[in-house]
């Protein structure tokens, strides 16, 4: 993505400051084919023009002896001005000793009057512009060592330069992020991680180089691209998707893209990329989307999410996060029998009222905070089991949800064992629900963790079974203790035959594996009857009860007694 300037093909602006019109004309006629030339009659006028220029001037050709403000004063004013400091100046002079003085003042070069060889003058102007544009560039650490793309610092510097002469072109800020990059590093080693970054940088350079983009390796697994405005990024994303399998032999790579289209040129470039990054973050964990375009609503949602993130500790401390319990009933007897419960988190927000887990679980899964939340829920549940045990003299087993992120926590098992110990319960009392999609992330790790937990006596319930792509595959590699049928099959059972047969199939598979099966989301008697006939063992759903706080849950226990 190096050839931004060349592909833009815009003429640079050059300012000639000379009080003699004949000099201005001669020089102007030499330069006007290659540059966009403007004229000033003295130093003051030249200075004012530079200050107001949009796009900026790339070079000043300066006569030294002029009325109002001479060339010497002009140069020192220029060098003292923060915006104009870097504009190169070529001094035009007929006096030999002024050369030294002007060069000492910081002029980049000089041309002797009268002008004779136009090619030489042009070549000098070209060289000085090139040098000066290169100089600001080289002054910041230019390239990222790993990927060969620009460093972030230089990238912004380059954008400011481009914007100097490119303000009228519509441009987009684009951010790329690799999903779960830290896991790629952890699982396959840094070398594989680096390889993925290098290869992705190559793909981006190839694709965006064609639409006059420049790119940077911002940090870890994030890339920025600044390019001409695109009406849609779908085809670009398609090309990137096609290239992903080749990025690494081992790891499966998923890339997300956030776009802030048609950037607001009055704002800072850093802000454009903050917006693009926001867009990119919004689809983290959403496996159905890979391109996200920045919008106001998205921005508001991000602020809302940020607020929730900041509030989680306080919410735990104030006990605004409450664990609800939903009963699971065994239905194969004469009448339903309370078997266990599922712990489900609720956030009673002091300002917003009850926030459903759908609003914050995916968010916390995306930034790792879910671990904190889950640890809290597990402890609450373990404590609750203990309290009921004491009060009613019997155990109500409680299932807790184990997020896919928890699977990678090396302390997972020891944390759970500690809870068992602290609350003096057994591994059979605290059941673990693991969502089926965790298998798609990394089958090997999941299988290892599940084996180990089962070895300690924990029971594993496979949540949302049938929702993923590898449900059957999973059953051949992982031993589990309970299957929970994904709710959507139960919901659709009556209106579509496929769902109904799917439910039947899952129940048969569970029978074949000799594990109980739970139907979730059962809302009415008709569903219950169908499921009972098919041989489903356990039911969880609004038909029996919504998830309720523990004080309300006791009524189900007391009914049983
Ligand atoms: P899940 O583990 O599959 O939980 C079942 C969800 O189905 C719960 O939604 C429950 O309220 C809902 N549900 C139960 N019966 C019915 C019914 O008859 N009809 C309908 N329409 N819905 C029913 P909830 O509580 O909103 O939780 C949603 C998801 O959030 C859970 O799905 C689980 O994946 C996650 N979640 C909830 N609490 C926790 C937690 O403490 N930790 C983690 N990691 N995830 C949690
Ligand atoms: Mg669950
Ligand atoms: Mg479920």
Residues in CB range of 208: below 8 A, 6 or more apart: 1, 214, 215, 225, 227
Ligand 1 atom nearest residue 540's Cα: 15
The closest of 292, 287, 205, 206 to 254, measured between CA atoms, is 287
Which residue CA neighbors atom 30 of ligand 1 most closely?
A: 357
Which residue CA neighbors atom 2 of ligand 1 most closely?
A: 401
The closest of 115, 127, 122, 133 to 35, measured between CA atoms, is 122
Identify whether the C-beta of residue 344 lies closer than 8 Å to the C-beta of residue 384: no
5 pLDDT more than 50: no
Give the Å distance between the CA of 435 and the centre of ligand 1: 11
Give the Å distance between the CA of 392 and the centre of ligand 1: 27
Buried-state track 317-355, b at ≥16 Cβ within 10 A, e below 16: eeebbbbbbbbbbbbeeeebebbbbbbbbbbebeeeeeb
> Could you give the domains of the chain?
2-142 (3.40.50.2300), 152-294 (3.30.70.270), 318-560 (3.20.20.450)
Q: Which numbered ligand comes closest to the C-alpha of 373?
A: 1
Identify whether the C-beta of residue 78 lies closer than 8 Å to the C-beta of residue 57: no
Which residue CA neighbors atom 22 of ligand 1 most closely?
A: 521
pLDDT of residue 140: 47
Give the Å distance between the CA of 483 and the centre of ligand 2: 11
Q: Is residue 52 classed exposed, middle or buried when 0-12, 13-18 and 19+ CB atoms within 10 A define those classes?
A: exposed
Identify whether the C-beta of residue 260 lies closer than 8 Å to the C-beta of residue 294: yes
| Residue 439 main-chain phi, psi, to 5 deg | -65, -40
Q: Please, which pLDDT band fits residue 55 given cuts at 50, 70 and 90?
A: confident
**How does the average pLDDT of the chain come out, rounded?**
89
Rounded to whole angstroms, how far apart are CA atoms 43 and 63? 9
- How confident is the model over 151-177, as a mean pLDDT? 87
269 pLDDT more than 60: yes
Rounded to whole angstroms, how far apart are CA atoms 43 and 480? 83
Say how many residues make up the chain: 561
What is the separation of C-alpha 224 from the centre of its chain, rounded to a whole number of angstroms?
11
The closest of 119, 50, 125 to 90, measured between CA atoms, is 125
pLDDT of residue 136: 57
pLDDT of residue 141: 60
Buried-state track 461-500, b at ≥16 Cβ within 10 A, e below 16: bbbbbbebeebeebbeebebbbbbbbbebbbebeeeeebb
- Tell me the per-residue pLDDT of 72-127, one tens digit each, with 9 for 90 and over: 899 889 888 877 888 899 988 777 666 677 677 778 888 877 777 888 888 888 88
Q: Please, which pLDDT band fits residue 22 given cuts at 50, 70 and 90?
A: confident
Q: Where are the alpha helices (DSSP H) in 53-189?
A: 71-80, 96-105, 118-139, 152-165, 181-188
Q: Please, which pLDDT band fits residue 274 given cuts at 50, 70 and 90?
A: very high
Name the least confident of 1-15, 325-339, 352-366.
Answer: 1-15
Rounded to whole angstroms, how far apart are CA atoms 453 and 410? 12
Q: What is the DSSP letter of 16?
A: E
Give the Å distance between the CA of 185 and the centre of ligand 2: 29
Evaluate if pTM is beyond 0.85.
Answer: no
Give me 14's structure tokens.
């050059």
Q: Which numbered ligand comes closest to the C-alpha of 484?
A: 3
């Amino acid at each position: 993505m190096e050839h931004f300037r060349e592909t833009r093909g815009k003429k640079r602006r050059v300012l000639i400051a000379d009080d003699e019109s004949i000099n201005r004309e001669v020089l102007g006629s030499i330069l006007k084919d290659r540059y966009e030339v403007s004229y000033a009659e003295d130093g003051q006028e030249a200075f004012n023009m530079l200050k107001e220029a949009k796009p900026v001037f790339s070079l000043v050709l300066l006569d030294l002896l002029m009325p109002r403000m001479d060339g010497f004063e002009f140069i020192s004013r220029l060098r003292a001005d923060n915006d104009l400091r870097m504009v190169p100046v070529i001094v035009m002079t007929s006096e030999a000793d002024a050369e030294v003085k002007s060069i000492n003042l910081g002029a980049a070069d000089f041309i002797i009057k009268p002008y004779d060889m136009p090619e030489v003058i042009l070549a000098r102007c070209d060289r000085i512009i090139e040098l000066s544009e290169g100089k600001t560039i080289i002054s910041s650490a230019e390239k990222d060592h790993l990927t060969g793309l620009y460093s972030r610092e230089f990238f912004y510097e380059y954008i400011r330069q481009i914007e100097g002469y490119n303000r009228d072109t519509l441009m987009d800020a684009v951010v790329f992020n690799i999903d779960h990059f830290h896991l790629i590093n952890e699982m396959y080693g840094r070398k594989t991680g680096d390889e993925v970054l290098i290869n992705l940088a190559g793909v981006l350079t190839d694709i965006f180089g064609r639409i006059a983009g420049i790119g940077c390796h911002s940090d870890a697994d994030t890339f920025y691209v600044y390019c001409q405005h695109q009406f849609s990024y779908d085809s670009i994303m398609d090309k990137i998707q096609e290239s992903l399998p080749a990025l690494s032999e081992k790891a499966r790579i998923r890339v997300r893209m956030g776009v802030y289209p048609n950037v607001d040129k009055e704002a800072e470039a850093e802000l454009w990329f903050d917006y693009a990054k926001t867009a990119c973050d919004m689809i983290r964990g959403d496996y159905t989307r890979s391109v996200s375009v920045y919008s106001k609503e998205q921005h508001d949602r991000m602020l809302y999410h940020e607020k929730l993130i900041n509030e989680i500790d306080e919410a735990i401390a104030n006990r605004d996060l409450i664990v609800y319990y939903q009963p699971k009933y065994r239905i194969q007897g004469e009448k339903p029998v309370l078997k266990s419960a599922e712990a489900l988190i609720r956030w009673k927000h002091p300002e917003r009222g009850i926030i459903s887990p759908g609003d914050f679980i995916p968010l916390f899964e995306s930034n790792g905070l879910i671990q904190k939340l889950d640890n809290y829920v597990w402890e609450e549940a373990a404590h609750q089991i203990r309290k009921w045990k004491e009060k009613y003299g019997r155990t109500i087993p409680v299932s807790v949800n184990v997020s896919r992120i928890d699977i990678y926590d090396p302390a997972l098992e020891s944390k759970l064992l500690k809870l068992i110990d602290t609350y003096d319960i057994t591994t059979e009392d605290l059941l673990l629900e693991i969502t089926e999609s965790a298998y798609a992330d990394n089958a090997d790790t999941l299988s290892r963790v599940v084996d180990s937990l089962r070895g300690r006596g924990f029971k594993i319930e496979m949540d949302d079974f049938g929702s993923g792509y590898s449900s059957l595959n999973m059953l051949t590699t992982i031993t589990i203790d309970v299957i929970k049928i994904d709710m959507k099959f139960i919901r659709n059972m009556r209106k579509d035959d496929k769902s109904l047969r799917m439910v039947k199939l899952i129940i048969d598979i569970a029978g074949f594996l000799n594990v109980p099966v739970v139907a979730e989301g059962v809302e009415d008697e008709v569903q219950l009857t169908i499921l009972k006939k098919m041989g489903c063992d356990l039911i969880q759903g609004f038909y029996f009860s919504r998830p309720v706080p523990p004080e309300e849950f006791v009524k189900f226990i007391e009914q049983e007694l």
